[in-house]
Amino acid sequence: MLAGLSARAYNRWNMSRWVAFALCMVAPLAVRGQALKDALRLPSGQDRGRITITTLDRTFAAKRIEIRTGPEGLVLAATEESDAVSAIPGIDVVEVGFAPVTPRPSPGPDDVEVVLRTGDRILGTLGEAKEEAVQVASPSLGTTSIPFARIDQVRFLARRTEWPKSTGPIKDDTLYTVSGDKPTGTIKSLGRGEIVYIHARRQRETKLATKDAVAASFVPIPPDAPTPPATLYAIVQLTDGSELRGAPKSYGSNGLVFTDLYGGERTVAAAGVAGLYFKNGRVIYLSDLAPAKVEENANYIRMPEPLPGDLSYPFQRDAGAGDGGRLLIRGKEYRKGLGVHARSALTYALDGGFSKFQATVGIDDFAVRLSGLDPVGNVSFVVLGDGQVLERRDGITSKSAPLALTVDVKGRKELTLLVDFGEDRSGQGDFADWALARVIR
């Protein structure tokens, strides 16, 4: 019956898969494991230690917060440490930090990161195998069943260093294995201990042990994944490392309620929420924008034309330019920002629509790890508006504390972020971060 059929044709021929697919597209993600969620929920209040809130004009600590939706949109009510209560429009909130992310230190062969087509990431442990869905047990979400139609890739956490850098367009579901093989076909099930798929060339059912898997990529199935709304929404970061996008509706002692991009309502226990990062408000992170112009040359001694042996460290969004890891300055991690290497000039079109530029700058800790030296690196951070120097900080090394900048850019049409070689005149270890680089309407 399978002879002459491609893997994708088999997928369409199998009526049971069509039925499952139709149900998956209309049903919200099923969240169970209520006992686990109840165990995470705080019995009363939000006594989780320091809550940090960043707004347009300040960062402050709060003892507790409440989020509610009113006639004028989302409002965040914060009880500060002084017991003063602030009511802040959601559009003016940049981020709220509740707790650190605490991923599993030693992932097992069935611990995975499921990347959805929306860009959401769900971390957890594979459950029993199911047709057309991946079941994942997550500390923050309980047991979640994720339809194949919503998945871009399943990555095995124990093989993080071997994850494919870029998959590109694929015609069949593709597996990446520890041996380096990349068999293709149609994935039938992906569960605890085993992946079952129809091999594209052999046209027969084949199995791969999860201990031998690096990642699994799924062919996109129409329709396209939903896009984030044009109105205010948030990236919800969970304490297990998962990230989901959606529109918050409320937050209190019973947890966070939000609508995800597929239109399903989710509730996450308060203790499972690490942070909220708001988008489409009055703050825009530059790492979410494409620069209008990029000028980079990591070589202190530079020739008029590039040479084959020249160093090259292209700028990275929300990652360091050295190893692509998290942005780190003096041990402090930053979720958003730009990682560069001197000399780097990134220009962004503002068109006069913003009032302030803000960032925290410093040498990325990768420079110390790479060289074994501290101090290492020496750079100048320069902020230019329409070619005019608005702010300049020289002599920044790995010993320098993270430096917060606020620069007036009102009326400026272009913003250029320049990191230049510093006073040591060597370029060694000049890995620099524009952490939390953002502009404010």
Cα 278 to Cα 328: distance, rounded to the nearest angstrom: 21
Residue 264: exposure state from Cβ atoms within 10 A (0-12, 13-18, ≥19) = middle
> Which tokens hold the place of 152?
């871009």
* pLDDT over threshold 60, residue 47: no
> Which tokens hold the place of 49?
């230690």
Cα 360 to Cα 285: distance, rounded to the nearest angstrom: 12
Mean pLDDT of 156-173: 89
Quote the Cα angle for 340-345-349, to 5°. 115
- Asked whether 184 and 141 are in contact (CB, 8 A), the reply is no
Cα 362 to Cα 319: distance, rounded to the nearest angstrom: 14
Cα 225 to Cα 423: distance, rounded to the nearest angstrom: 49
Determine the pLDDT at residue 19: 33
Indicate the Cα dihedral angle 83, 88, 94, 96, nearest 10°.
Answer: 40
Mean pLDDT of 339-367: 95
Cα 209 to Cα 219: distance, rounded to the nearest angstrom: 21
Q: Which long-range contacts (CB under 8 A, 24 or more apart) does 70-77 make?
A: 73/232, 74/232, 74/248
- Asked whether 440 and 355 are in contact (CB, 8 A), the reply is yes
Cα 17 to Cα 25: distance, rounded to the nearest angstrom: 12
Contacts of 61 by beta carbon, 8 Å cutoff, 6+ apart: 50, 51, 52, 53, 80, 81
N residues, the chain: 441
CA–CA distance from 92 to each of 53, 284, 333, 349 (Å)? 11, 11, 23, 22
Domain 284-440: give its CATH code: 2.60.120.1060
Cα 19 to Cα 124: distance, rounded to the nearest angstrom: 27
Domain boundaries, the chain: 1-48+98-281, 284-440
Burial 214-227 (b: 16+ CB within 10 A, else e): bbbbbbebeeeeee
| pTM for this entry | 0.73
- Interstrand relation of 327-329 and 316-317 (parallel, antiparallel or unpaired): unpaired
Tell me which of 333 and 167 has the higher pLDDT: 333
> Which tokens hold the place of 365?
């800790």
- Asked whether 141 and 272 are in contact (CB, 8 A), the reply is yes
Q: Indicate the range of 4-8, 108-112, 300-304, 381-385 predicted with least confidence.
A: 4-8
Determine the pLDDT at residue 314: 94
* pLDDT over threshold 70, residue 425: no
Partners of residue 362 on adjacent β-strands: 433
CA–CA distance from 230 to each of 90, 215, 274, 386 (Å)? 14, 32, 24, 29
Determine the pLDDT at residue 103: 78
Determine the pLDDT at residue 169: 87
**How remote is the C-alpha of 34 from its chain's centroid?**
27
Mean pLDDT of 378-404: 97
Determine the pLDDT at residue 312: 86
- Asked whether 146 and 116 are in contact (CB, 8 A), the reply is yes
Residue 424: exposure state from Cβ atoms within 10 A (0-12, 13-18, ≥19) = middle
68-107: pLDDT as tens digits: 998 889 999 999 988 999 999 999 998 999 998 887 789 9
In 314-413, DSSP assigns E strands to: 316-317, 327-329, 332-334, 337-341, 344-349, 356-363, 379-385, 388-396, 403-408
183-234: pLDDT as tens digits: 999 999 999 999 999 999 889 999 999 999 999 999 998 999 999 999 999 9
> Which tokens hold the place of 263?
């239109």
Determine the pLDDT at residue 310: 73
Q: 279 phi and psi, to 5 degrees?
A: -130, 155
228-254: pLDDT as tens digits: 999 999 999 999 999 999 999 999 988
Share of the chain above pLDDT 90, in %: 71
Mean pLDDT of 394-406: 96
